[in-house]
């Protein structure tokens, strides 16, 4: 496999890689061996020139009239996304959202291994959701260090999110997906993404209101 220098792949390309990968895997499972950038573009509502540019980061140049090799692209993109090895994941907060995420099938399919959940409530400690057994939040740092946890999903109440992320960072966790509706602070070498459902709803409301004005 060609060694892609990931520093060359622009940040805006990364979310598209996930979209390509999903569609290419589907094509592969249906036995499709080759696909043109144009046909792929039609399937996922993107521009064919954009797709060719994105694929060129992997040294992949399709042949006119023949297209790209589907299996090869799946391998290259999986490798680039770091999906060809597994990541240890914990969920902090075993409430409704946390437990729903624990049972989310997309996880294990992508090589994300849920190794534990954490909560402060005695009523949920010891329960299991998917592959995640709930442990006491008091054990968070020790567990993350010993088990080399890579990624944490944070679904604690807003007031606890910032402190939780600080503890995770101190324990060596390098990536956080924060679902709490607050901005959290982390050292520079910790990557934090936010999924803010409440803000998404407010944005929809804003546009609806404008349309009806």
Question: Is residue 63 involved in binding a second copy (CB under 8 A)?
Answer: no
- Residues 65 and 34: their CA atoms lie apart, in Å, by 10
> What does the H/E/C string look like for 163-187?
HHHHHHHHCCCCEEEECCCCCCCCC
Minimum separation from the CB atom of position 117 to a second copy (A): 14
Distance in Å, CB of 17 to a second copy, minimum: 7
Supply the minimum distance, in Å, between the C-beta of residue 188 and a second copy.
11
Q: What angle do CA 91, 114, 153 make, to 5 degrees?
A: 25
DSSP three-state, residue 115:
strand
189 touches a second copy by CB under 8 A: yes
| Torsion angle (degrees, nearest 10) of CA 137, 182, 105, 29 | -140
Q: Does 1 bind a second copy (CB under 8 A)?
A: no
Q: Which stretch binds a second copy (CB under 8 A): 12-20, 53-61, 119-127, 137-145?
A: 12-20
> Does 53 contact a second copy by CB under 8 A?
no
Q: Rule CB under 8 A: is residue 106 a binding residue for a second copy?
A: yes
Break the chain down into helix, strand, coil percent, rounded to 5. 45, 20, 35
Among 50-58, 67-75, 132-140, 183-191, the segment contacting a second copy (CB under 8 A): 183-191
Distance of alpha carbon 144 from alpha carbon 138, whole angstroms: 12
- Contact with a second copy (CB under 8 A): which of 69, 75, 141, 196? 196
CA–CA distance, 173 with 161 (Å, rounded to integer) = 15
Task: List residues binding a second copy (CB under 8 A).
Answer: 6-7, 9, 14-15, 17-19, 21-22, 44-45, 80-83, 87, 96-97, 99-101, 103-104, 106-107, 110-112, 150-151, 174-175, 177, 181-183, 185, 189, 191, 193, 195-211, 213
């Amino acid at each position: 496999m060609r060694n892609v220098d990931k520093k060359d792949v622009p940040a805006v390309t990364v979310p598209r890689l996930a979209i390509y990968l999903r569609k290419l895997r589907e094509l592969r499972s249906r036995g499709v061996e080759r696909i043109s950038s144009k046909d792929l573009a039609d399937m996922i509502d993107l521009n064919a020139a954009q797709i060719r540019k994105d694929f060129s980061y992997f040294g992949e140049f399709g042949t006119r009239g023949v297209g790209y090799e589907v299996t090869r692209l799946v391998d290259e993109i999986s490798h680039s996304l770091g999906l060809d090895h597994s990541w240890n994941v914990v969920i902090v907060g075993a409430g409704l959202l946390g437990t729903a995420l624990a049972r989310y099938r997309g996880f294990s399919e992508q090589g994300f291994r849920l190794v534990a959940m954490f909560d402060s409530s005695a009523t949920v400690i010891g329960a299991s959701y998917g592959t995640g057994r709930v442990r006491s939040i008091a054990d968070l740092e020790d567990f993350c260090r010993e088990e080399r946890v890579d990624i944490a999903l944070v679904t604690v109440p807003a007031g606890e999110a910032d402190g939780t992320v600080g503890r995770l960072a101190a324990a060596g966790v390098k990536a956080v997906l924060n679902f709490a509706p607050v901005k959290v602070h982390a050292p520079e070498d910790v990557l934090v993404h936010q999924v803010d459902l409440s803000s998404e709803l407010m944005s929809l409301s804003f546009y609806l209101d404008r349309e009806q004005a």
